[in-house]
Structure 1
Amino acid sequence: MTLFRQIYSLLFSLFLLVVASLGYVQFTETQSFLTKQMESDLNNASTSLGLMLTPALQAGDTAAAETLVNVIFEGGYYQNVKLTWMVDGKQQEWNNPLRIEDVPQWFINLNLFKTIKKQSTITSGWLQLAQLEITAHPGFGYHELWRIMSNTIIAFSLLFLVAIFTARIGLTWILKPLHTLSEHAKSIAARQFGPGMALPKTTELKDLVTAFNSMSAQLKQVFHSLDEEVGALRKKNLVDPASGLPNRQYLVSRLNGWLSEPSSGALFLAKLDWLEEVHSKYGYQVRDETIRILAEKFQLQLNEITPSVIGRIAAYEFAFLVTDVEHDQISKYLQTLIRTINQEMSKAGCKPNEDFAIGIAERIGQMNVSDILAQADNALQKALQENKTFHWFETTEQQLFTREQWRDNLSHAISNKKFKFRWQPIQFCDGDGIAQRELYCQLELGDQLAHAGQFMPYIELLSLGALLDKCLIETVYEQKLLERSYEPLAINLTHQSINDPQFHEWLNHFLRNATFIERICFEIPEAGVYSDLKSCQHLCNIIRDNGAKFGIDHFGRQFGSMSYLQELRPSYVKLDQSFAYYDETHHNSELCRALINVAKGLDIQVIVTGIQEKAQLERFNELRTDAYQGFIAPPVSLD
C-alpha cells in the first residue's frame, strides 16, 4: 500500500471513530433527555388530572370523571390511564394503541425507552377518593429521537465527506514532494539523470531532497566521466593527432569487420608526396595545418557522395574505405577525391595532378585484410611507376544485374516476399543458453540466392529500405518464426526506416495487433543514431511502448559521445566487430573496458560480436560482457 493510502486510511479511521463517538454521545444524551422529559410530563399530567377529578369524584359523577380523563388522554402522549374508585372498587381504563408515524418499525423494535408509569391517590382532605395510574406513551420519545438522530447523521455525513475530500487534497499537496522524490528515484534507477528537484517547504523533506540531488549529480558526473574517458582513449589510440582522422589501427580493425560480413565496396590508398614539398617550403607547422584542412575537406566533400571511413595511415598516406556501394558510386567517389586533392594543391602553390597517386582495390569474393591492403598497395605502386594519378584493380566478376534490373528484381522480391532466412545464435558468456537469435535474409533470384552484401547496396541506393523492412517483419510473422524459438529474434532496420515517419506509423499499428511482441528485437545501427537522434527517439519509443525491445548495433564504431544511451535506453548494445581484432599490445582493452563500463553503468546488456575462436572470447571474459556472437556459432538456415 502506498504511503498516501496509509495516511489517508489512518485519517479516515480516526475521523470515523470521532464521528461514531460523537454520534454515540449525542444518541445517549438525547435518549436520556427525552426520558426525563416524558417523566416530567407524566408527573405534571398526573397532578393536573388528580386536581381536576376531585370534584367529580366527591360528587360520584362518573360521566364527568370520564369526560375530564378523555380531555387529558386525547391531548397528550399517554398509552394507558386507569382510574380505580375507592368507594366501590370500580375501575375505568383508557387505552391508546402504540402507533407512531414517520418512524421506521425497526427503530421502534429496538425498545429504546422503558415503560414509564405514574401512580397517585386522589384525596379530599383525609378521605381517599380514587387511585390514578397513568402510563406514558413512548411515541414522543421515538419520534423526537429519530428526528434528531436523522438530522445528526445527515450533518455528520456531509461533514465527513467534506473532511475526507479536504484531507485528500491536503495530503496530495503535502505529499507532492515525496511523489516527486519517488519519480526522481525511479529515474535514477533507470540511469536517467535529469535536473535537480526544487527544495520543498516541508522541513523534514529538505534534507532528503538535498541528498537525492547530490546523489543524482554525482552519478551524472560519473557517467560523464566515463564518456569523457571513452573519448580520451579513442583520441589516444585511434585518432591521428595532426589530421584528426582515424589512424591505421582503426582502419585495420574496420577492414576486419567489413571483410567478415557479406558486403561490397573498395579500398583507396592515396600517397600525397606534394605535402613533402609544403614541408620543405613552409615548415612542419604549415604542413600540419595543410593536412588538417585537407582532412576536413575530405570529410565534407567525400561523405556527400557516400559515407566512408577516411584515415591517415602514414605521414603522407591516406586510406579511404567505401562500403555497401555499387561500381558507379566508387567511380564518382574517385573523381571527387581527385578534384578535392587538386583544389588543395592549387591553394598550396603546387601543380595539380602531380606528386600524388591513388590505388583502388575492389572487394572480390573472400578476402582478408592482408589481401585487400596488398592489392590496394600494388595499385598505388603501379600508379606511381606509370606516373598516373590513379590505378584501379577492378574486379573481373560480372555484376549480376544493372541498376534498373536490380530495381525490378528487388521490387518484385519485396512485393512477393521472395526472401529466405537464416538465424545466428547469440550465446551467453557464462554458457547458460542462448540470449537471442539474429536474423539474416537472402534474396531468391531464379535458381540462385543473393546474400545481403550483394543486394543491400542497391536497397539503400534505390531507397527501398522501408519497404524491405516491412516485408521482412511481415514475413517473420507469416512464417511463425517467433513461435519456433523462445529466445528473442533480432531484426536489423535500415537507415531509411529509421528516418521514415510513415514506417514509424506502420510499425506502431503493426505491433499493436501482433503477438509474441516480447520475443522481437529491432537493431538500430549506431551511425543511424548519430545521423538523426530525434527520429531514433521516436522510433524507439514506439518499439518500447508496444512491448518489444531494441538494441544498438556496431556500438563504439562512431566517434562521438555515448550520451545517446541515456536518451534511447536500449535493452542491449552490440560491440562493433572491430574490437574483436584489436591486439592487446595496442592497449585497446582499456577502450573496450571503458565502452563496456558506460553501457553496464546504464544497466544495458553488452554483446560482443565478431568472435571467431575461443581465444578471442577469453579476452572479453574479464571485461564482464554478457553474450557473444560470431562464426564460432555460425548462422543456421531456416527451411
Structure 2
Amino acid sequence: MTLFRQIYALLFGLFLLTITSVAYVQFHETQNFLVQQMDSDLNNASNSLGLMLVPVLESGDAVGAETLVNVIFEGGYYQQIKLTWLVDGKQQVWNNAIRVENVPQWFIDLEIFSTITKQSTITSGWLQLAEIEITAHPGFGYHELWRIITNTIMVFAVLFLIAILLARVGLTLILKPLHNLSEHAQRIAKRQFGPDMPTPKTEELKELVRAFNSMSSQLKQVFNSLDEEVSALRKKNLVDQVSNLPNRQYMVSRLNGWLTEPSGGALFLAKFDWLEEVHSKYGYQVRDETIHLLAQKMEQHLQEIAPSVIARIAAYEFAFLVEDVEHDQLNKYLQTLIRTLNKEISKAGCKPNEGFALGVAERFGQMKVADIMAQADNALQKALLENKVFHWFETSQQQLFSREEWRDNLTLAISEKQFQFRWQPIQFCDNQQISQRELYCQLQLGDKLLHAGQFMPYIELLSLGSLLDKCLIEKVAESKLLERNYESVAINLTHNSIGDTDFHLWLKQVLRSTPHVERMCFEIPEASVYSDLDACEKLCSIIRDSGAHFGIDHFGRQFGSMAYLQSLRPSYVKLDQSFAYIDDNQHNSELCRALVNVAKGLDIQVIVTGIQEEDQLERFRTLRLDAYQGFIAPPVNIKS
C-alpha cells in the first residue's frame, strides 16, 4: 500500500471514529431529552385534566367527564387514560392505537423508549373524587429521534464527503514532493540524470531532496567522467594529433573487424609526397596546417559519396576504408578524392596530378588484413613506379551482376521472400548458456548462394533497406521462430529503416500483434545513432513500448560521446569486433575497459563480438562482460 493510501486510510478511520463518537453522544443526549420531555408533558396533562374534571366529577356527569378526557386524549401522544370514580368504583378507559408515520417499524422494534405512566388523585378540598392514570405513547419519542438521526446522518454525510475531498487534495499537495522524489529515484535507478528537483517547503523533506539531488549530481558526474575518459583515451591512442584523423592503430583494428563481417568495399592507400614539398618550402607548421585543412576537406567531400574511414597512417601516407559499397560507387569515391587533392595541391602552389599516388584494393571473398593491405600497397607501389595518379589492383573475380540486375533480383527476392535464415548463438560468459541468437540472411540466386556481405551494399545503394527489413520480420513471424525458440532472436535493422517514419508506423502495428514479442530484439548500428539520433529515439521508444528489446551494434566504433546511452537506454551493446584483437599490452585495452565501464555503469548488458578462440575470450574475463559472440560458436542453419 502506498504512503498516500496509508495516510488517507488513517484520516478516514479517525474521521469515522470522531463521527461515531459524536453520533453516540448525540443519540443518548437526544434520547434522554425526549424521555424528560414526554415525562414533563405527561405531568402537565395529568394536572390539567385533573383540574378540568373536578366540576363534572362533583356533579357526577360521566358524559361530561368523557368529553373532557377525549379533548385531551385526541390532542396528544397518549396510549391509555383510565379514570376510576371513587364514589362507586366505576372505571372509564380510553385507548389510542396511534401509528407513528415516517418511522420504519424496525426502528420502533428496537424499544428505545420504555412505557411512562402517571397516576394522580383528583380531589375537591378534602374530598377525593377519582383516580386518573395516564400512560404516554412513545410514538412522539420515536418520531423526533428518527427525524434528528436522519438529519444528523445527512449533515455528517455531507461533511464526510467534503472532508474526504479536502483530505485528498491536501494530501496530494503535501505528498507531491515525495511523489516527485519517488519518480526521481526511479530515474536514477535507470541511470537517467535529469535536472535537480526543486526544494520543497516541508522542512522534513528539504534535506532528503537535497541528498537525492546531490546523489544524482554525483552519479551524473561519474558517468560524465567515464565518458570523458573514453574520449581522452580515443584521442590519445587512436587519433593523429596533426590531422585529427584516426591513426594507423585504429585503421588496423577497423580492418580486422571489417574483414570478419559479411561486407564489401575497398581499401585505398595514398602517399602524398607534395606535403614534403610544402614542408621544405614553408616549414613544418605550414605543413601541419595544410594536413589539417586537407583532412577536413577530404572528410567533407568524401563522406557525401559514401561512409568511410579516413586515417593518417604515416607522415605522408593515408588510408581510406570504404565499406558496403559496390564497384561503381568506389569509382565515384576515387574520382572525388582525386579532385579534392588537386584543389588542395593547387592552393599549396604545387602542380595538380603530381606529387601523390593512390592504390586501390577491392575486397573479394575471404581475405585477411595482411592480404588486403598487401594488395593495396602493391597497387600504390605500381602507381608510383609508373608515375600514375592511381592504380586499381587487378583481380580475376568479376562482378556478379550489374546494378540493374541487382535491382531486379533483390526486388523479386524481397517480394517473394526468398531469403534464407541462419543464426548464431550468443552465450553468457559465466555459464555458457545461450542469451540470444542473431539472425543472418542468405539469398539463393540460381546456383549461387549469396551471403549478406555480397548483396547488402546494393540493398543500401538502391534504398531497399526498409523493404528488406519488413520482409525479414514478416518471414520471422511466418516461420514462427519466436514460438519455436525460448531465447531472444536478434534482427539487424538497416540504416534506411531507422530513418523511415513509415517503417516506424508499420513496425508499431506488427509488434502489437506479435506473440512472444518479448523474445524479439532489434540491433541498431552505432553509426546510425550518431547520424540521426532523433530517429533512433523514436524507433527505440516504439520497440520498448511494445515489449521488445533493442541493442547497439558496433559499440565503440564511432568517435563521439556515449551520452546517447542515457536517452536510448538499450538493453545491451555489442562491442565492435575490432576490440576482439586487442592484446593486453596495447593501449586499446584501456579504451575497451572504459567503454565497458560506461555501459555497465548504466546497467546495460555488454556483449563482446568477434571471438574466435578461447584465448581471446580469456582476455576479457576481467572486464565483467555478460556474453560473447563469434566463430567460436559459428552460425548454423535453422532447422525447419
Once superposed, what is the RMSD of the aligned Cα atoms?
0.9
Rounded Cα–Cα distance in structure 2 between residues aligned with 1:395 and 1:112: 114
Partner residue, 1:419? 419
Partner residue, 2:525? 525
Q: Any residues of structure 2 matched to 1:517-596 within 5 Å, and which?
A: 517-596=517-596
Rounded Cα–Cα distance in structure 2 between residues aligned with 1:365 and 1:149: 96
* Partner deviation per Cα, 1:253-290 (whole Å, 9 max, x = no partner): 11111111111111110011111111111111111111
Q: Any residues of structure 2 matched to 1:141-220 within 5 Å, and which?
A: 141-220=141-220
Which residue identity does 2:131 align to in structure 1? Q
* Partner deviation per Cα, 1:506-561 (whole Å, 9 max, x = no partner): 00111111111100000000000000000000000000011100000000000000
Which residue identity does 2:212 align to in structure 1? F
Structure 1 residue ranges, 4+ long, deviating more than 3 angstroms after superposition = none
Rounded Cα–Cα distance in structure 1 between residues aligned with 2:479 and 2:264: 29
Partner residue, 2:476? 476
Q: Does 1:138 align with 2:113?
A: no
Q: Any residues of structure 2 matched to 1:44-123 within 5 Å, and which?
A: 44-123=44-123
Q: Secondary structure at the match of 2:597?
A: helix
**Is residue 555–residue 574 contact of structure 1 (8 Å, CA) maintained in 2?**
yes
Partner residue, 2:330? 330
Rounded Cα–Cα distance in structure 2 between residues aligned with 1:24 and 1:196: 52
Partner residue, 2:403? 403
Rounded Cα–Cα distance in structure 1 between residues aligned with 2:432 and 2:139: 84
Partner residue, 1:257? 257
Q: Which shows bigger deviation, 586-595 or 56-65?
A: 56-65
Deviation at 1:567, TM superposition (A): 0.4
* Partner deviation per Cα, 1:149-197 (whole Å, 9 max, x = no partner): 1111101110110111011111111111111111111111110000111
Rounded Cα–Cα distance in structure 2 between residues aligned with 1:585 and 1:602: 28
**Is residue 363–residue 395 contact of structure 1 (8 Å, CA) maintained in 2?**
no
Q: Secondary structure at the match of 1:509?
A: helix
Percent identity over the alignment is 76
Partner residue, 1:513? 513
Deviation at 1:497, TM superposition (A): 0.3
**Is residue 495–residue 528 contact of structure 1 (8 Å, CA) maintained in 2?**
yes
Which residue identity does 2:360 align to in structure 1? I
- Structure 1: which 5+ residue stretches go unaligned? none
Rounded Cα–Cα distance in structure 2 between residues aligned with 1:57 and 1:152: 48
* Partner deviation per Cα, 1:14-38 (whole Å, 9 max, x = no partner): 1111111111111111111111000
Partner residue, 1:320? 320
Partner residue, 1:627? 627
Q: Secondary structure at the match of 1:175?
A: helix
Q: Does 1:489 align with 2:496?
A: no
Rounded Cα–Cα distance in structure 1 between residues aligned with 2:588 and 2:464: 38
Which residue identity does 2:52 align to in structure 1? M
Deviation at 1:394, TM superposition (A): 3.3
Q: Which shows bigger deviation, 524-533 or 137-146?
A: 137-146
Which residue identity does 2:461 align to in structure 1? L
Rounded Cα–Cα distance in structure 2 between residues aligned with 1:101 and 1:462: 92
**Is residue 361–residue 379 contact of structure 1 (8 Å, CA) maintained in 2?**
yes
Q: Secondary structure at the match of 1:622?
A: helix
* Partner deviation per Cα, 1:447-488 (whole Å, 9 max, x = no partner): 332110111001000000000000000000000011121110
**Is residue 237–residue 586 contact of structure 1 (8 Å, CA) maintained in 2?**
no
Rounded Cα–Cα distance in structure 1 between residues aligned with 2:300 and 2:396: 32
TM-score by length of 2: 0.99
Rounded Cα–Cα distance in structure 2 between residues aligned with 1:307 and 1:190: 34
Rounded Cα–Cα distance in structure 2 between residues aligned with 1:607 and 1:395: 37
Rounded Cα–Cα distance in structure 2 between residues aligned with 1:291 and 1:239: 14
Q: Any residues of structure 2 matched to 1:234-245 within 5 Å, and which?
A: 234-245=234-245
Which residue identity does 1:351 align to in structure 2? K
**Is residue 4–residue 175 contact of structure 1 (8 Å, CA) maintained in 2?**
yes
Rounded Cα–Cα distance in structure 2 between residues aligned with 1:46 and 1:60: 20
Q: Secondary structure at the match of 1:100?
A: coil
Deviation at 1:444, TM superposition (A): 2.0
Deviation at 1:432, TM superposition (A): 4.3
Q: Any residues of structure 2 matched to 1:370-381 within 5 Å, and which?
A: 370-381=370-381
Deviation at 1:584, TM superposition (A): 2.3
**Is residue 248–residue 312 contact of structure 1 (8 Å, CA) maintained in 2?**
yes
Rounded Cα–Cα distance in structure 2 between residues aligned with 1:48 and 1:369: 128
Rounded Cα–Cα distance in structure 1 between residues aligned with 2:258 and 2:422: 20
Which residue identity does 1:68 align to in structure 2? L
Rounded Cα–Cα distance in structure 2 between residues aligned with 1:384 and 1:394: 16
Rounded Cα–Cα distance in structure 2 between residues aligned with 1:448 and 1:285: 55
Rounded Cα–Cα distance in structure 1 between residues aligned with 2:310 and 2:484: 43
- Structure 2: which 5+ residue stretches go unaligned? none
Q: Any residues of structure 2 matched to 1:595-614 within 5 Å, and which?
A: 595-614=595-614
TM-score by length of 1: 0.99
* Partner deviation per Cα, 1:340-362 (whole Å, 9 max, x = no partner): 11111111111111121111111
Rounded Cα–Cα distance in structure 1 between residues aligned with 2:183 and 2:435: 31
Which residue identity does 1:312 align to in structure 2? R
